[in-house]
Amino acid sequence: MHRKIMLACFVLLAINTLPARAQVIVDMSLITCQQMLDAPPERQQLIAWWMRGYFSAAKNFSMIDFRYVDYNTKIVTAYCKKKQNRGETLMSAVQKNAR
C-alpha 6/C-alpha 46 separation (Å) is: 13
Tell me if 58 sits within 8 A of 7, measured CB to CB: no
R_g over Cα of the chain: 13
Query: How high is the pLDDT of residue 11?
Result: 63
Element (H, E) at 80: helix 66-81
Q: Which residues, in sequence order, are bridge partners of residue 32? A: 89
Query: How high is the pLDDT of residue 86?
Result: 94
55-98 residue pLDDT tens: 778 778 778 777 877 888 889 899 999 999 999 999 899 888 87
- Tell the CATH topology of 2-97: 10k-s Protein, Hypothetical Protein A; Chain A (1.10.890)
Tell me the domain boundaries of the chain: 2-97
Phi then psi dihedrals of residue 79, to 5 deg: -65, -45
Q: Which residues, in sequence order, are bridge partners of residue 89? A: 32
22-49 residue pLDDT tens: 657 878 889 999 999 999 989 888 888 8
